[in-house]
Every structure is written in structure tokens, then in C-alpha cells.
Structure 1
Amino acid sequence: MSKKIIHKADTRGHANHGWLNSHHTFSFARYYNPERMGFGLLRVLNDDIVAPGMGFGTHPHDNMEIVSIPLKGALAHQDSTGTSEVIETNEVQIMSAGSGLTHSEFNASKTEPVNFLQIWVFPKEQSIQPRYEQKAYKPEDRQNKLQTVISPEKGSDALWINQDAWFTLGSLKAGFSEDYQLHKRGNGVYAFVLEGEVEIDGEKLEKRDGMGISDADWVSIKSSADAELLLIEIPMK
């Protein structure tokens, strides 16, 4: 019997610093909820809006897989591996903090806000050499189907992650129906609705709602309206 946990959008932690308007699915910074310390090895899922020209100054990380997905606008990134890039909408970035690095993230625009997801996953191997990678994905490749954008399989079309985790995006039309088959026994799936309305395993989810499912081999997906969906398949321990 599968286990489910639902996090409605309006129950997330919230911090508005003026330049940064952030919603936290899991405990982060000043938002602390002992029942929301993550889902399996998924630790952070932040929905951030950064004002034009503003951002996060240089700060350190280690032993964390950090994924950034711009939903609207563009994000300028610099880090101590020598990387200096702009991440656009329809691109995905992954950074293995590994043995330690510093980085900064700023809105690449002086006129428009940027909205992006920042996601942290505990790594499989500790203290690997820090690394950075980003990739553009064609939105038409996820029209009414599921598009894998992050995977532990080196050499695939997806970005590599130092964990047995898979990230999948879908732009689904009303009436779409498909089962998501988990890749690895013992993993769970965290579904996060970016836009629209989706039914996951019979549970109705709306924009920015999240739901974790564990002890399941597959998950049913049905869209009752046009929807944008992110699935994170993650080890539970």
C-alpha cells in the first residue's frame, strides 16, 4: 500500500524580503517545521521570485546536489569552478557542491523579475569534485509526455546527478493520462504542480501543490486541465 503526503500551496513557508519573495515547501532558513524536513533525500524545494538586478551574493555549499529550474526570466550564475553562465527558461542547471565551492545567483534582467525553483538533494557519494552543468530542453519534447531532464545515468540526454534520482517535466493537455513507472525500488516520487490542475494517484492537485508518494512501483497521472508538472523520483533513505 503506497503512502502519501500532500502539501497544499498555501501551507508552504513564506519569506518576503522585498528583493526576494520565496515559498518553501520544506523547512528552510527561518521557516522551520519538524514535519517538513524533506521527502526522502529531497531536502529543499524553494519557489523563488527575485527582483530585477537583485540576487544571492557569493556563499558556500558542500555535499549537496543543487538544481535550478527557471520558470520565468533568466538567472545569472557564477561559481568558484570558474563557471559564469546565464540560465534561461527551458534550461535546467545542476551543481554538485561536493567537497565545497562558492557561488552567486542574480536576476540576469534589470527590468523583469525571475521566478525559479531551487532544489537541494543529498548526494550519493560524499566530497566529490565540485562540478557544474546546464542544458536547454525543447518544450515541444514534453508536450503531452514526460521528459526526463536529470538522471543518474551518465551519457543519457539528461543532466547527470550524484544520486539515484530522476527529474521529469511534463506540459500536459487536459485529458492526458499516463502511469509513471519508478526506476528504482525503494524510491519515492515528489510531484509538484507548476501550473494548472493534475490528479496524482487519485488526489487532485492545483498550482504549486506538492505530493510525496512512497512504497509504490508506479504513479498514475491524469490532467483535468492544461498543466505543467515536475516529478522528482528520489531515494527515501
Structure 2
Amino acid sequence: MITVRHAQDRGQASFGWLDSQHTFSFGHYYDPQQMGFSALRVINEDKVQPGAGFETHGHRDMEIISYVLSGQIAHKDSEGHIQVLPAGEFQLMSAGSGIFHSEYNASDSETLHFLQIWIEPDTLGIQPGYQQKDFGQSAGLTPVATPGGDNGTLRIRQDATLSQLILEPDSELQVDISAGRKLYIHQIEGQLLSGSTTLYPGDGAKVENQQQLMLRNQGSEPVKALVFDLP
């Protein structure tokens, strides 16, 4: 079964310096039917004005992933990490027992556009951690975050895998789904045919009770999406 969450149905927040679209309930946006999916709790699509950003604030017991679509994030946290996250790179911050951080648009002229993703951990109170990496633009399904951090992936404290999907025009990929597992797809670029359902940028799809899923790019532009394998 595939359940689509259309981009235009997401929650909206605008603060002048920030425009944000919430796939799931977040902040002042509350929908009891959209409280997350399995361990996936938040997907926010944020656009931050030049020079603006999120002042220092705290988190605990959450796996927080940032993926920059355009622009750059200037990151600073209480564990001593001071980094710039450019477009195309993934950042995974394990909040664990508690961490404070700030995120700013590193540019004075360009809008920052990024995805903020929260996944609930399966272990509480761990030592906070920070990871950052560019996984390239290879076609197919590229693992980004895995429970064991295998093969150079980011290590996530949950029985979940995040992968980057890139499909060139007129190509397809079959995804096998293990028994009892769920998938969530967040569409970023292009038009992705998921089973018999077409996803457009900003759309999401919950996939449940299926053993296989065929993903196709029948358009003229490359497709980019994030695919979450969840418990």
C-alpha cells in the first residue's frame, strides 16, 4: 500500500527570515494524522534568507540529518564542531544525552535551501556525535546512513537506512522490501513513478505491506529522492 503526502498539503511556517514546509507535525503546525512514520519524525523543507539562521538551541535523544539542496549551512555545536555544510552534503548530528547547536546561512547573498530530518533513536542517552559527508551523484540507490556505518556511510542510532536515489531519464530500479519493513520516499527533483503513483518535488510516500517496489523515471529530467528503510 502506498499513501501519498502531497507537497501542497504540508504544514506552512513563515517568519520573514525562514520559510518552512512541514511533512509532519512540527512547531505550531499540528495534525494528529501526521505525527511521523515509524521512527521518522520530522521532514522540514527550509529556506533561510542570507545571513539569517537558527540561533543556539538544544536537542537530546534525536538523530538529526541535514541535507543541503542549495547554499551552505554554517554549523557550530557545544561538542566543538565548527563546520560549513555545502550543497550536496549530508550531516548527521546525534543529539544523544544533550547538545546545543546553531545553524546559519553561510552566505550574505544566496538563499539557503535544505532538508531537516529527525529520526528517533533506538538507544537513549548516548554520547553526542557529528558526521558529515558528500555521497556523490551516482545513479541508483546510494546508502547514506546505516545502523552500523558500514562502507563509509554515516552511522545512525536506529534500525533504519537512509539512501539517496538518483534515476536518469527512462530508467527504473526495483527495491526489495524485507518482511515487516516500511519505506518512506521524499521526492526532491523530477517526477518519480512509484508503483502506479507519480511523485512530484516535495511529495512523500508511505509504503507499507509490500515486498517490492518499482521506481521509474519516465520524464526528461533526472530524478532525485530520499528513501528511508524503516522498522
- TM-score range for the pair, normalised by the shorter chain length: over 0.9
1:190 match = 184
SS at match of 1:156: helix
| Cα displacement string for residues 85-135 of structure 1 (whole angstroms, at most 9, x for unaligned residues) | 001112100011011111110001111011000000000111111000101
Aligned to 1:180: 175
Runs of 4+, deviation exceeding 4 Å: none
Query: What's 1:35 paired with?
Result: 33
Which residue of the partner structure matches residue 208 of structure 2?
Answer: 214
The amino acid that maps onto 1:164 is: D
Q: Which moved further from structure 2: 152-161 or 99-108?
A: 152-161
Q: Distance in 2 between matches of 1:229 and 1:121?
A: 17
Q: Which residue does 1:166 correspond to in 2?
A: 161
Please tell me the root mean square deviation across aligned C-alpha atoms, in Å: 1.1
Q: Which residue of 2 aligns with 1:104?
A: 102
Shift of 1:42: 0.3
Counterpart of 1:57 in structure 2 is 55
Any gaps of 5 or more consecutive residues in structure 1? none
Structure 2 regions of 5+ residues with no counterpart?
Answer: none
Letter in 1 for 2:147: P
- Using the alignment, how far apart are the partners of 1:214 and 1:60 within structure 2? 33
* Equivalent residue letter for 1:172: L
In 1, distance between residues paired with 2:135 and 2:73? 16
Give the TM-score normalised by structure 2: 0.96
- Number of equivalent positions: 229
- Give the drift of 1:157: 1.9
1:201 equivalenced with 2:195 (yes/no): yes
Q: Which residue does the alignment assign to 1:233? A: 229
Shift of 1:4: 2.4
Which shifted more, 69-78 or 186-195?
Answer: 186-195
Partners of 1:154 and 1:136 in 2: CA distance: 14
Deviations 1:71-98 (A, max 9, x none): 0111011111110100111210001101
Counterpart of 1:91, as a letter, is E
Quote the Cα distance in structure 1 between the aligned partners of 2:230 and 2:66: 17
Kindly state the Cα deviation for residue 155 of structure 1 after the two structures are TM-superposed.
Answer: 3.7
Deviation, 1:181, is 2.1
Return the letter of the residue paired with 2:149.
K
What corresponds to 2:4 in structure 1?
6
- Output the TM-score relative to the length of structure 1: 0.93
**1:119 matched to 2:117:** yes
Query: Which whole-Å CA distance do the structure 1 matches of 2:150 and 2:35 have between them?
Result: 32
